[in-house]
Structure 1
Amino acid sequence: MHHLLLIEDEPGIARFLRQGLEEEAYTVDVADTGTAGLAQALAGTHDLLLIDWMLPGLTGLEVCRQLRAQHIPTPVIFLTAKDTVQDTIAGLQAGANDYIKKPFHFEELLERIRVQLRPPANEVAECYSVGSIVLNVTTHQVHKNGEEIALTQKEFALLEYLLRHKDKVCRRQSIIENVWDIHFEYNTGVIDVYINSLRKKLKISKEEDYLQTIRGIGYIARDGR
């Protein structure tokens, strides 16, 4: 699960983006000033930074420059209303990897994030499997018997969590904390909905039974009974 940092001082925009990104299975931290955002970004625990250009404290441009000066390589995407060629050049020269102009379509932002998080072509694929199902973390693809199966971000995250813990019982509370990033009392019935969806999309027969229910406890991924 990728960990993002959003540095945005407009509360409405920050709430909208955080909610949308979390629904796509990203973990999102939010800072509302350039100074606070820089402090979090310097920790180096994020996979990607979304930075508004105009911020109180330090501007997004200054945040990016300081990160690069301290050799923090985390990808940066600027979110800004500025759109002149000079502004674009200034952002790239400060060390940004990409630049998206406000207002933007959320789907476009998602695709730009995916591009920045895509691993190098020469990187060895990280794969997990159960029965005839293969999940490729590197390419974010799932295949069954060689046929690619389209999953939502949350379905993929749930399947990945179960396969990473193959042959081990995953308790419901552990699943909700790690896949949904919810750390308080919550109705875990949502897990059942997603498990049923995975079984249907992956066409898991009763004989295969790759995703098994452990009543009253949780679920387990294993190669049939």
Structure 2
Amino acid sequence: MSEHDHHHHHPHSPTEGEVRARALESLLREKGVLQGPVIDEIIDTYTNDIGPMNGARAVAKAWVDPEFKKRLLENATKAVAELGISGMEGENLVAVENTEDVHHVIVCTLCSCYPWPVLGLPPRWYKDAPYRARVVREPRKVLAEFGTTVADSKPVKVLDSNVEVRYFIIPQRPQGSESLSEEALAKLVTRDSMVGVTVLPAVA
């Protein structure tokens, strides 16, 4: 499933922040400050790199600190605030854990609710109507399209984010990572593993 194939978004009334951002972008383009691909490059960076770094830090800390992990699972909003992580779309954050016994995957069936503070901007495929509909009906097939095979014996649980709660996943710690530092572990964590569409490979 390619991000480049998905462009649809559930219609919604723009927030004041979105209106201001669009107006600023329009003005900067008009003045020649921003050229064609610049905005797309900035969005890509926050979608794939800068944004998910926050979630990766929280996941890595949960892997090495059982007490933090307990707090993260009990109240993710408060726990990530300990790391200086907060902001819009993260007020009601819920963390769940992928284990040997269950695999979680996240969707927003109504639009594209997403935990921005820990995962950055939502990828295009997450906002696309086919993903939102299909991952509920046929999660294993959708996961396979991301290259993820979940054993038939392991349940796949689909979590539906909404305006009241936004989920993110603590993926299973990769095999072979036992000797790595917390900082090194954070570099292994990907956005897609925290959405649940992929799993993290073993460390060579």
The two structures have a TM-score, normalised by structure 1, of 0.24
Q: Which has the higher contact order (CA 8 A, sep 6+)?
A: 2
Q: Give the strand-richer structure, 1 or 2.
A: 1
- Specify the structure having the higher radius of gyration (Cα): 1
Q: Give the helix-richer structure, 1 or 2.
A: 2
